[in-house]
Amino acid sequence: MGLYKMQRTLGAPVSFTGQGVHSGKTVNLIIHPAPPNFGIRFRRVDLPAKPMVAGNFNRVVDTSLATVIGENGCIVSTVEHLMAALSGLSIDNALMEVDEYELPIMDGSAAVFTRAIREKGIVRQEAPRFYFVILKPILLENRDKSVCLYPDERRIISCTIEFDHPAIGRQSYELEIDDDRFESEISGARTFGFMHELELLKFYGLARGGSLENAVAIDENGVVNEEGLRWPDEFVRHKILDCIGDFSLLGLPILGRICLYKSGHNFNHEFLKTFFKKKKHWKTATIETMDATAVCR
């Protein structure tokens, strides 16, 4: 059920090489195991002194096109898919070494990261895993967008999206997070965009690495990619992928039900601000100290 008593890390380092979706630059990424209570951190090995940035909510500096974290002038961009892979696999501690400011986009999903990490194995560590246990609902609404958190004894995410385009329309999906379901149902859902938006981004020098190899593109007639979609509802599955990555920036997994309606990176981040203002609505606890009846491993 995706609940673990103890912290976890990778069994061995794993390497990737790919392009940054906005920079178009080739980037090398190595994910290393890390000790208990280390958390998720990124090291820019291309910069003097090799500075590190923590993958935490209070390090987010931009959410306009992707989730960007930074500290003291050092940034790491487009972290959401890798963060989703780590969170979806319940990995608490890892060090990412990267030689550019933007992570590789790979195929536009988290599948490459997820498969490689699972192939290396996931190791149980001798330190208890803490959770944010939701005690009372937390709600953020703005016009037609909303994010809600409700108490639950499981890790649940549900999402609904609506786009005025026949290729998407209204889609809903719900997931109880565990390693297998995350890999099989969510990790392979690719980022998507409309052709006119991509052309505009390229005009302004962005999306230089964007292509049909790493995104689902949509024009007025439908999906442009020759291979089509991986699922009929791949769009909402990718929104869940993004949400898992964004919410992982809280620093601890949430024990509760996340419900999203037409939310994206920026609104998710606004909700995280609200979350920390509602300290009476949650507590931190380990499996041993919380009143949970779920079967834990």
Considering 2-6, 22-26, 241-245, the range whose residues carry the highest mean pLDDT is 241-245
Q: What is the rounded CA–CA span in Å between residue 228 and residue 67? A: 27
Longest pairwise C-alpha distance within the chain: 54
pLDDT of the residue at 206: 61
| E strand intervals along the chain | 6-10, 14-19, 26-33, 40-44, 52-54, 60-62, 68-71, 74-77, 94-98, 122-128, 130-134, 138-142, 145-150, 155-163, 169-176, 192-194, 216-219, 222-223, 254-261, 282-286
What does the mean pLDDT of the chain come to? Answer: 92
Give the end-to-end CA distance of the chain in Å, rounded to a whole number: 9
Residues 122-137 have a mean pLDDT of 97
Report phi then psi at 47, rounded to 5: -105, 155
Tens of pLDDT, residue by residue over 158-212, are: 999 999 999 999 999 999 999 999 999 999 999 998 887 776 666 556 666 778 8
- Residue 182 neighbours by CB distance under 10 Å: 24
Phi and psi at residue 138, to the nearest 5°: -125, 130
pLDDT at residue number 2:
72
pLDDT grade for 66, boundaries at 50, 70 and 90: confident
Q: Pick the closest to residue 73 from 104, 106, 44, 109 (CA basis).
A: 44
pLDDT in tens, 226-254: 999 999 999 999 999 999 999 999 999 99
pTM for the structure as a whole: 0.93
Q: Which of 12-16, 22-26, 93-97, 259-263 has the lowest mean pLDDT?
A: 22-26
Quick one: average pLDDT of 70-78?
A: 94
pLDDT band at 290 (very low <50, low <70, confident <90, very high): confident
What confidence score (pLDDT) does residue 1 get? 56
Residue in 238, 265, 269, 281 annotated catalytic: 265
Active site residue 265: yes
Domains of the chain plus CATH, in order, are 6-127 (3.30.230.20), 130-286 (3.30.1700.10)
| 235 three-class SS | helix
